[in-house]
Amino acid sequence: MTTVAMRVAVLAAMLGSCLGAAQAQDKAPRSTSTLVERLDRNGNGCVDLEEGRNYASRRFHRLDKNADGKLDAAEIPAGQRDGGDDGVIPLEEWQDAYSQRFAHLDSNGNGCMEQTEVDAGRAAHANGGQ
Protein backbone atom coordinates (compact mmCIF):
# COMPACT_ATOMS: atom_id res chain seq x y z
CA MET A 1 0.00 0.00 0.00
CA THR A 2 0.92 3.59 -0.37
CA THR A 3 -0.05 4.68 3.12
CA VAL A 4 3.53 5.52 4.03
CA ALA A 5 3.91 7.70 0.98
CA MET A 6 0.59 9.35 1.78
CA ARG A 7 1.60 10.01 5.37
CA VAL A 8 4.84 11.57 4.21
CA ALA A 9 2.89 13.79 1.84
CA VAL A 10 0.42 14.78 4.58
CA LEU A 11 3.26 15.49 7.03
CA ALA A 12 5.05 17.59 4.44
CA ALA A 13 1.88 19.56 3.83
CA MET A 14 1.33 20.05 7.58
CA LEU A 15 4.92 21.12 8.08
CA GLY A 16 4.57 23.62 5.27
CA SER A 17 1.45 25.17 6.75
CA CYS A 18 2.99 25.18 10.26
CA LEU A 19 5.98 27.10 8.96
CA GLY A 20 3.66 29.54 7.29
CA ALA A 21 1.70 30.00 10.51
CA ALA A 22 4.89 30.48 12.53
CA GLN A 23 6.06 33.17 10.14
CA ALA A 24 2.68 34.91 10.37
CA GLN A 25 2.87 34.83 14.17
CA ASP A 26 6.26 36.51 14.16
CA LYS A 27 4.59 39.57 12.77
CA ALA A 28 2.05 39.73 15.60
CA PRO A 29 3.94 39.18 18.87
CA ARG A 30 1.53 41.36 20.90
CA SER A 31 -0.78 38.44 21.63
CA THR A 32 1.29 37.65 24.73
CA SER A 33 1.34 41.20 26.12
CA THR A 34 -0.96 42.03 28.99
CA LEU A 35 -3.68 44.66 28.94
CA VAL A 36 -1.56 46.98 31.06
CA GLU A 37 1.46 46.59 28.77
CA ARG A 38 -0.67 47.49 25.77
CA LEU A 39 -2.32 50.54 27.35
CA ASP A 40 0.62 51.90 29.32
CA ARG A 41 1.71 54.64 26.93
CA ASN A 42 4.08 56.46 29.25
CA GLY A 43 5.75 53.23 30.41
CA ASN A 44 5.30 53.67 34.15
CA GLY A 45 4.03 50.11 34.52
CA CYS A 46 0.38 50.93 35.11
CA VAL A 47 -2.61 52.46 33.36
CA ASP A 48 -3.62 55.90 34.60
CA LEU A 49 -7.11 57.31 34.11
CA GLU A 50 -6.21 59.18 30.93
CA GLU A 51 -4.60 56.12 29.32
CA GLY A 52 -7.63 54.09 30.32
CA ARG A 53 -10.10 56.64 29.01
CA ASN A 54 -8.26 56.82 25.69
CA TYR A 55 -8.62 53.06 25.45
CA ALA A 56 -12.29 53.28 26.45
CA SER A 57 -13.05 55.81 23.72
CA ARG A 58 -11.20 53.75 21.09
CA ARG A 59 -13.29 50.76 22.14
CA PHE A 60 -16.45 52.89 22.03
CA HIS A 61 -15.76 53.99 18.46
CA ARG A 62 -15.06 50.41 17.42
CA LEU A 63 -18.43 49.36 18.85
CA ASP A 64 -20.26 52.34 17.35
CA LYS A 65 -20.74 50.68 13.97
CA ASN A 66 -22.96 53.39 12.48
CA ALA A 67 -20.71 56.15 13.94
CA ASP A 68 -23.53 58.26 15.35
CA GLY A 69 -21.68 58.86 18.62
CA LYS A 70 -23.82 56.57 20.72
CA LEU A 71 -24.29 52.87 21.24
CA ASP A 72 -27.78 51.59 20.64
CA ALA A 73 -29.25 48.22 21.63
CA ALA A 74 -27.62 46.47 18.67
CA GLU A 75 -24.18 47.90 19.48
CA ILE A 76 -24.05 47.67 23.29
CA PRO A 77 -21.90 44.65 24.19
CA ALA A 78 -23.50 41.90 26.24
CA GLY A 79 -23.15 42.48 29.96
CA GLN A 80 -22.60 46.24 29.60
CA ARG A 81 -24.72 48.20 32.05
CA ASP A 82 -26.84 50.93 30.47
CA GLY A 83 -26.69 53.78 33.00
CA GLY A 84 -29.81 55.67 31.92
CA ASP A 85 -31.59 52.37 31.16
CA ASP A 86 -32.83 53.99 27.95
CA GLY A 87 -31.21 51.50 25.55
CA VAL A 88 -28.63 54.04 24.40
CA ILE A 89 -25.11 54.77 25.69
CA PRO A 90 -23.57 58.05 24.50
CA LEU A 91 -19.78 58.44 24.69
CA GLU A 92 -20.04 60.61 27.80
CA GLU A 93 -21.98 57.94 29.68
CA TRP A 94 -19.54 55.30 28.45
CA GLN A 95 -16.59 57.36 29.74
CA ASP A 96 -18.29 58.01 33.09
CA ALA A 97 -18.95 54.29 33.48
CA TYR A 98 -15.31 53.65 32.66
CA SER A 99 -14.12 56.20 35.24
CA GLN A 100 -16.27 54.57 37.90
CA ARG A 101 -14.95 51.16 36.98
CA PHE A 102 -11.42 52.51 37.03
CA ALA A 103 -11.86 53.98 40.52
CA HIS A 104 -13.32 50.67 41.65
CA LEU A 105 -10.44 48.64 40.18
CA ASP A 106 -7.74 50.95 41.54
CA SER A 107 -7.91 49.25 44.91
CA ASN A 108 -4.77 50.87 46.33
CA GLY A 109 -6.04 54.30 45.25
CA ASN A 110 -2.85 55.51 43.55
CA GLY A 111 -4.73 56.68 40.45
CA CYS A 112 -3.10 54.02 38.30
CA MET A 113 -4.23 50.50 37.43
CA GLU A 114 -1.61 47.81 37.95
CA GLN A 115 -1.93 44.41 36.29
CA THR A 116 -2.68 42.83 39.67
CA GLU A 117 -5.64 45.19 40.07
CA VAL A 118 -6.88 44.37 36.56
CA ASP A 119 -6.62 40.65 37.33
CA ALA A 120 -8.43 41.07 40.63
CA GLY A 121 -11.21 43.00 38.88
CA ARG A 122 -11.57 40.30 36.25
CA ALA A 123 -11.74 37.59 38.88
CA ALA A 124 -14.45 39.53 40.73
CA HIS A 125 -16.33 40.09 37.48
CA ALA A 126 -16.11 36.38 36.60
CA ASN A 127 -17.66 35.59 39.99
CA GLY A 128 -20.59 37.84 39.17
CA GLY A 129 -19.58 40.43 41.76
CA GLN A 130 -18.59 44.05 41.24
Q: How far is the C-alpha of 102 from the C-alpha of 55, rounded, in Å?
A: 12
Inter-helix orientation angle 91-105/49-63, to 10°: 140
Asked if residues 60 and 71 have their Cβ atoms less than 8 Å apart, the reply is yes
Looking at beta carbons only, is 17 or 66 nearer to Ca ion? 66
Closest distance to Ca ion from the beta carbon of 27 (Å): 26
Closest distance to Ca ion from the beta carbon of 63 (Å): 8
Q: How far is the C-alpha of 122 from the C-alpha of 24, rounded, in Å?
A: 30
Looking at beta carbons only, is 7 or 81 nearer to Ca ion? 81
In the chain, the N- to C-terminal Cα span, in Å, equals 63
Closest distance to Ca ion from the beta carbon of 75 (Å): 5
Looking at beta carbons only, is 37 or 68 nearer to Ca ion? 68
Task: Please give the residue ranges that form the binding site for Ca ion (CB under 5 A).
Answer: 40, 42, 44, 64, 66, 68, 75, 106, 108, 110, 112
